[in-house]
Amino acid sequence: MSKIKNVIFDIGNVLVDFDWGSYTHSIFMDEMLIQELDTAIWGDGRWDRLDWGEDSEIAIQRMIDYAPEYESEIKLLFSRVGEVLSKREYSHDWIKSLKSRGYGVYYLSNYSKLVMDANPDVLDFLPLMDGGVFSCNVHLIKPDHKIYRYIANQYNLVPSECVFIDDLLRNIQGAEDCGFHAIQFLTYQQARLDLEELLEEEDE
């Protein structure tokens, strides 16, 4: 069994909060409207096109074309989309702790340039890390196996020496299919404990 040398983090809902539900409810009160907007924005992979790196104006127009009666509401949501993100207090310390113990620390995140530019401050931990991949920069999104292979090739990482942490099971399965160890993030306490147990097992 290979010793783990690197930890790779997802970002949204792992190192930062991405709370779309609370965000939409802070702007609109009508539950039916919110459901319609969610379908227009997230349905049929329309948001995924943003994460993939499609031009934001084109991607948002596709959402509007799906539900033209909600054009003003969709534009309003995207005009304030930075509010969907907020910092998690533990992120810096978790990264620093792993780095101090000699582990390489990377990120692999489905993330759009639009959201990145709307609230860059939540990513202030990036300089602490050894590198990483944003989906929008490589036109690949998890759980496509190509993006896991991309980060491995980019940083000369051996998948069996890496553990990947993500909140979504499909992304965990994608990483495991490519030979990475993987942990599904449910809570910080759970994920940190699971990581420590895995690191201890690998050190034996």
Q: Helix, strand or coil for residue 58?
A: helix
CA distances to 43, 116, 141, 184 from 109, rounded to whole Å, are 20, 11, 8, 14
Q: What is the pLDDT of residues 79-122, one digit of tens each?
A: 999 999 999 999 999 999 999 999 999 999 999 999 999 999 99
The pTM of the full predicted model, rounded to 2 decimals, is 0.95
| Pick from 203, 204, 191, 198: nearest CA to 90 | 191
The ranges assigned to domains in the chain are 6-17+86-203, 19-84
pLDDT tier at 1 (50, 70, 90 boundaries)?
Answer: very low
Place of tokens 């931990």: 125
CA atoms within 13 A on the CB side of 197: 8
Domain 6-17+86-203: assigned CATH number = 3.40.50.1000
Where are any strands of DSSP class E within 40-142? 85-87, 104-109, 131-134
CA–CA separation, 190 vs 11, rounded Å?
16
| Pick from 159, 138, 169: nearest CA to 10 | 169
Amino acid at 126: L
How confident is the prediction for the chain on average, in pLDDT? 96
Amino acid at 23: Y
pLDDT tier at 203 (50, 70, 90 boundaries)?
Answer: low
- Supply 113's token pair: 């340039």
Q: Is the pLDDT of residue 192 over 80?
A: yes
Q: Is the pLDDT of residue 204 over 70?
A: no
Q: E strand or H helix at 190, and its extent?
A: helix 188-203
pLDDT computed for residue 67 by the predictor: 97
- Supply 104's token pair: 């390489």
